[in-house]
A and B are shown apart, each in its own frame.
Chain A
Amino acid sequence: MKHAKQSKLKIGLTLASLSLIAGMLPVPVQAFDYPAPGDFAQGAKEWADNCGRCHNIRGAKELRDDQWITTMFHMRLRAGLTGQEMRNILTFLQGSNNPSTGVIVKTSTATGSATSGLSGKDIYSQTCIACHGADGKGVLPGVPDFTRKDGRLSKPDATLLKHVTEGFQSPGSPMAMPPKGGNSSLTEGDLKNVIEYLHQEFGS
């Protein structure tokens, strides 16, 4: 039997008003020195592994950076995450929300066709695998299956490079792939290497 006190509608309206007031409090924040930064790529994997198990995955842009902080501390308790796992996921969400300030993978933003020295396979394993999976079929609902003959890899390389460079949201996917997969240190040469690796590994 439910144990709840009957109260007048007036009390309910008062409490509801308080809710609305709390929700409308302005929080013009830009950056926080807490919690400590986590690992973006690891956060992407942990986000993919945990959040969709209980509820529809919410995209990074559905909340502000400061709202993600309270939300992730709340979810740390609900999902039984460690503090580090929570910080990783928070870094991933904030980084995806605002790639220019939140991506922690490396500090510099690289351009040009020179490469970082990593192979396409190395970059895929470090940056892409969290969402696209080791088999290229995608580990999240809405993430494209690279192994399909008429799938994403059938598009021209110029289109793929544009999507990887600028970010892209597939139909049905809960959130967009962040620019450069969230790793701003990748150069155009690195991205071309990754695309070449995708064709070799998963293409027909």
Chain B
Amino acid sequence: MKTSIFPLKPVAFAVLTALAALPAVAAADDLSQLRKTVETLQKQLQEVQKQLEEQQAQAKTEQPASRADVEQLQKQVSEANEWREPNTLVHLAGYADVGYEKTQGNNDDGSFTVGRFSPIFHFQYRDLVMLESELEFEVEDDGNTNTSLEYLTIDLFMNDYATLVAGKFLSPVGQFRQNLHPSWVNKMASAPPGFGHDGAAPVSDVGVQVRGGLPRMGGVRTNYALFVSNGPELSSEDGELEGIDAEGFNKDAEGNKVYGGRVGILPIPNLEIGLSGAWGEAAVSKIDGNEVDINDEGKRDYKVYDADFNYQLGSLGVRGEYVKSKVGSTSKGLAASGSANWTTWYTQAAYKFLPTKWEAVARYTDFDSAVDDRDVKQWALGINYIFTSNFIAKVNYELNDGKNNSAADDNRFLAQLAYGF
């Protein structure tokens, strides 16, 4: 603390003023009185001086004590346990994309697009349980915003090899839907035909699954997923099966569960081969766009078979998947009809030109739908610029070979910015 001589100034000023006020010729009594006054003022001055010295001494002893207090306080704050090891963690992840697309031969002048904004919430209690949920916001052509719950699961980590997953989950059938579809992961701006919300591969389901990794056997890694779920519903158009709605229904309307699973084998590092499938029953709930009582419709066999692979060798990544969905026939109900199949497969190669940030991608898809107008054979070629691991610019051109005069036959140019967080 800084000291000051300012407290002495008023006293000294008073003494000088008193002296200056003395008459030029003073009587002896006056001199005696004056002497007493001066002595009194001297005493007062000495007392003030003493107090000042005491204050200065006290300030000197208090200064280091005050610093010690601050350091002690800082130490206590840094060691506070309130947030040091919280039992609950909250984390926001997700992805989004924006872009531009132009379809050839359809009087399309091209449009800027907003793809999807998909925030993913993680709430975790220690290493026991995690709640994870992905929302999906999508702007339609008419400007309305669609919202949907992509998945919502509570994951109970039972032991090192098994996790119980309950809720609405991405279908464990295949690889693309459950692992590769996010726009910052997908190396193309679009999903392969048949693997989107349009076709052969199931998207999501509501039920329970057990999944995890198994102990290595001779250097071979294995993972698995087994599930039971409400299963899909079907739609019919013009008297024929038109689509499989496999996006997770909150009610098992036709009353038969679907069972399925996937086994992934990694014989060598960076190569995964998967086999998966699902079996159950399904029924038509929508005819020509109108909802109908599913209990009035006949139950049909529902089967899905899938095989996938994914291999990374340095800068080269190769992946592919085959999926076939089969729906049986029925003679009951308004939508009584024969069986129908949806089959699609794709294979893709991507190569990073390191140390640059450029990447080239090529993909071939063959989608055979139960609706002939949706059949397509597609070559998709793309160039990516990888700004960062989670921010990618893509430019694609799709060469589509579909039924003449169908929308699936038009070639398409796409550009996309995708960001994962």
Interface residues of A (CB under 8 A from B): 1-9, 11-12, 15-16, 19, 22-23, 25, 27-35, 48-50, 52-59, 62, 66-67, 69-71, 73-74, 76-85, 138-139, 141-142, 170-172, 174
B161:A83 contact, CB within 8 angstroms: yes
Q: How far is the CB of A13 from chain B (nearest CB, A)?
A: 9
Residues in chain A near residue B225, CB distance under 8 A: 80
CB distance from B178 to the nearest CB of A (A): 7
Cβ-defined contact, B389 with A62, below 8 A: yes
Is A80 touching B213 in the complex (CB atoms < 8 A)? yes
Q: Out of B185, B224, B357, B392, name the residue touching A80 (CB < 8 Å).
A: B224
Residues of A within 8 A of B146 (CB): 2, 4-7
Contact digits for B254-282, partner A, Cβ 8 Å, 1 yes 0 no? 00000000001000011010000000000
**Is the Cβ of B235 less than 8 Å from the Cβ of A70?**
no
Q: Quick check: is B385 within 8 A (CB to CB) of the other chain?
A: no
Chain B residues near A78: list those with CB within 8 A.
178-179
CB < 8 Å: which of B119, B130, B245 contacts A70? B130
Cross-chain contact A22 with B92 (CB below 8 angstroms): yes
Expressed in whole angstroms, the minimum distance between the Cβ of B218 and any Cβ of chain A is: 16
Is the Cβ of B212 less than 8 Å from the Cβ of A3? Answer: no
CA distance A15 to B147 in the complex (A): 10
Contacts of B15 in A (CB 8 A): none
- Could you tell me the distance between the alpha carbons of A141 and B136 in the complex, rounded to whole angstroms? 32
The answer to whether B212 and A7 touch across the interface, beta carbons within 8 angstroms, is no
Q: Which residues of B contact A56 (CB under 8 A)?
A: 386, 389-390, 392
Asked if residues A5 and B92 are in contact (CB atoms below 8 Å), the reply is no
Q: Is the CB of A73 within 8 A of B390?
A: no
Q: Contact check, B138 vs A80: say whether CB atoms are below 8 A apart.
A: no
Specify the chain A residue showing the minimal Cβ separation from B314.
Answer: A141
- On whether the beta carbons of B147 and A1 are closer than 8 Å, the reply is no
Q: Is the CB of A174 within 8 A of B389?
A: yes
Which A residues lie within 8 Å of B241 (CB)?
none
Contact A34 B126 (CB under 8 A): yes
Q: Are A69 and B138 in contact (CB under 8 A)?
A: no
Complex CA distance for A78 and B420, rounded to whole angstroms: 16
User: Which residues does chain B contribute within 8 Å of A2, judged by CB atoms?
Assistant: 146, 148, 197-198, 247
Return 30 A-B CB contacts under 8 Å, by A number: A1-B235, A2-B146, A2-B247, A4-B136, A4-B138, A6-B144, A8-B145, A9-B144, A19-B92, A19-B119, A22-B92, A27-B90, A33-B85, A50-B270, A53-B317, A55-B185, A56-B392, A69-B89, A71-B91, A74-B122, A77-B165, A79-B179, A80-B225, A82-B161, A82-B213, A82-B214, A83-B159, A85-B213, A141-B354, A172-B354
Chain A: minimal CB distance from B182 (Å): 8
Report Cα–Cα, A171/B356, bound state, in Å: 8
Within the complex, the shortest CB–CB distance from B349 to chain A, in Å, comes to 14
Any chain A CB within 8 A of the CB of B208?
no
Interface assignment of B310: CB less than 8 Å from any CB of chain A: yes
Task: Specify which chain B residues have a CB less than 8 angstroms from the CB of A52 in the assembled complex.
Answer: 270, 312, 317
Q: Are A58 and B148 in contact (CB under 8 A)?
A: no
Q: Which 10 A-B pairs have the closest CB atoms?
A: A80-B223, A172-B355, A83-B160, A23-B92, A4-B148, A49-B269, A70-B91, A82-B213, A2-B197, A56-B389
Residues of B within 8 A of A (CB): 83-86, 89-94, 117, 119-122, 124, 126-127, 130, 132, 135-138, 144-148, 155, 157, 159-161, 163, 165, 178-180, 184-185, 197-198, 211-215, 223-225, 235, 243, 245, 247-249, 264, 269-270, 272, 310-312, 314-315, 317, 352, 354-357, 386, 389-390, 392, 420
Enumerate chain A residues within 8 angstroms of B121, measured Cβ to Cβ.
19, 22
Q: How far is the CA of A172 from the CA of B136 in the complex (A)?
A: 33
Q: Specify the chain B residue showing the minimal Cβ separation from A172.
A: B355
Cβ A77 vs Cβ B163 within 8 A: yes
Q: Are B147 and A5 in contact, CB atoms less than 8 angstroms apart?
A: yes
Q: Which residue from chain A places its CB closest to the CB of B144 in the assembled complex? A: A6
Contacts of A49 in B (CB 8 A): 269-270
User: Given A3-B247, A55-B185, is A74 in contact with B93 using a C-beta cutoff of 8 Å?
Assistant: yes
Determine whether the beta carbon of A16 is less than 8 Å from that of B119: yes
A83 to B156 alpha-carbon distance, docked (Å): 12
**Closest CB of chain A to B158's CB: distance in Å?**
10
Besides A1-B243, A52-B317, 4 more A-B contacts (Cβ < 8 Å) are A3-B249, A11-B147, A55-B184, A55-B389
Is B89 touching A70 in the complex (CB atoms < 8 A)?
Answer: yes
Q: How far is the CA of A107 from the CA of B63 in the complex (A)?
A: 40
Minimum C-beta distance from B243 to chain A (A): 5
Contacts A49-B269, A54-B180, A82-B214 given: A73-B245 contact, CB under 8 Å? no
A69 to B86, CA, bound (A): 12
| Complex contact B148–A73 (CB within 8 A) | no
C-alpha spacing A7/B144, complex, angstroms: 8
**B132, A74: Cβ atoms closer than 8 Å:** yes
Q: A5-B147, A54-B179 are in contact. Are A29 and B389 (CB under 8 A)?
A: no
A130 to chain B, nearest CB (A): 10
Q: How far is the CB of A193 from chain B (nearest CB, A)?
A: 27
Give min CB distance, B77 to chain A, whole Å. Answer: 11
Does the CB pair A59–B90 fall under 8 Å?
no
How far does the alpha carbon of A36 sit from the alpha carbon of B73 in the complex, in Å? Answer: 32
- Given that A7-B145, A73-B127, A80-B213 are contacting pairs, would A30 and B135 also be in contact in the complex, using a CB cutoff of 8 Å? no
